[in-house]
Copies of this chain bind each other. A is one copy, B any other.
């Protein structure tokens, strides 16, 4: 059924209609005019050109201030529920582009408390272990340690808690219920938690002693938290954070969101080449039953997980991606060849990433925010 999908910070189901989501959430499409404007600060990131980063809140306002010389801060994060997969990397890579383009400090929140509260099977020890493991993936992407601070919730709680309390005092259970779909059986930690996710949006102002605009670039599924943040911001003396939303990174099974609950359709940053090869070999492409058939009818890149991987993350050259799409539709390139292209690229990417990830172990301490 059309519109029969669900996007919350903890659950994404159904086939997402991203335009309808903009309506539901009340955000604004990143339109041509905005792309034009963004292109003035540097070459547009492919995720912008291709509509992977497709929605925003108050981005004009933030850029107006920036143009007047007011530096903004970036804020994004990770719920450390397990290993990092490619879906997690996508918005981080985009934040790297933002940091490089706008020379902005990045506050990166690791919500070990959240993942403990929302997952029956995870202990706080688990989520903290995941935190330090996932942080390596962030650092491996090349962020500048001088401009990037990783905030671990339970370790930076002295800093975060007073801010979270100020948020929490302004948010009723009614609001939390309406925004997140909580009910009477929800645990009281989960109910409180959104305050913790709001806190880093106000931290730059506290640290710098001036009202600092904040840009949150994150998956659109996280937007509900930041609606709450925006609602309380001005009453607490802060700017409302601006947002840029990415679409969900697809699963190899063709689903709309890569998810750790389906490991075989998920590529983790620590997967060895052999595993990657196997996972891509089994990926959903929507191709025809036989090569002969497919040469006749052509493929459907719009449903193909392998094509989407190139489109979302790996093939940055627009001409080449267009070419790939056309050749697929015409039946000139078959799924096997296409899978090989992606596999080679992905294996190279992961080999490089895994090396950087090892090097990151020595840098971790420099990135962790002191409490």
What is the oligomeric copy number? 2
**Chain B residues whose CB sits within 8 angstroms of the CB of A185 once the complex forms:** 172-174
Q: Which of B155, B177, B183, B188 contacts A192 (CB 8 A)?
A: B188
**Chain B residues whose CB sits within 8 angstroms of the CB of A290 once the complex forms:** none
How many residues does chain A have at the interface if contact means C-beta atoms less than 8 Å apart?
36
16 further interface pairs, Cβ-Cβ under 8 Å (given A172-B184, A173-B184): A116-B165, A116-B169, A117-B165, A117-B169, A154-B158, A154-B161, A157-B157, A157-B161, A158-B371, A168-B192, A173-B186, A174-B185, A188-B194, A188-B195, A189-B195, A191-B192
Contact with B along A158-196 (1 / 0, CB 8 A): 100110111011111110110000111111111110110
**Chain B residues whose CB sits within 8 angstroms of the CB of A192 once the complex forms:** 168, 188-189, 191-192
- Across the A-B interface, give the 10 residue pairs with the lowest CB-CB distance, nearest first: A168-B189, A192-B192, A174-B184, A157-B161, A157-B157, A171-B188, A168-B188, A173-B184, A188-B192, A188-B191
Give the CA-CA distance A185 to B176 in the complex, in Å: 10
Distance in angstroms from A147 CB to nearest chain B CB is 26
Distance in angstroms from A35 CB to nearest chain B CB is 38
A275 within 8 A of B: no
A65 within 8 A of B: no
In the complex, the chain B residue whose C-beta lies closest to that of A127 is: B165
Q: Is the beta-carbon distance between B113 and A165 smaller than 8 angstroms?
A: yes
A70 within 8 A of B: no
A124 within 8 A of B: yes
**A–B Cβ pairs within 8 angstroms, 24 of them:** A113-B161, A113-B165, A116-B169, A117-B165, A124-B166, A154-B158, A154-B161, A154-B165, A155-B158, A158-B371, A161-B161, A164-B189, A168-B187, A168-B189, A168-B192, A169-B187, A172-B185, A173-B184, A173-B185, A176-B188, A188-B191, A188-B192, A188-B194, A192-B192
**Chain B residues whose CB sits within 8 angstroms of the CB of A190 once the complex forms:** 168
Give the CA-CA distance A195 to B155 in the complex, in Å: 18
Give the CA-CA distance A169 to B112 in the complex, in Å: 13
Give the CA-CA distance A161 to B154 in the complex, in Å: 7
**Chain B residues whose CB sits within 8 angstroms of the CB of A117 once the complex forms:** 165, 168-169
Q: Which of B113, B124, B171, B184 contacts A187 (CB 8 A)?
A: B171
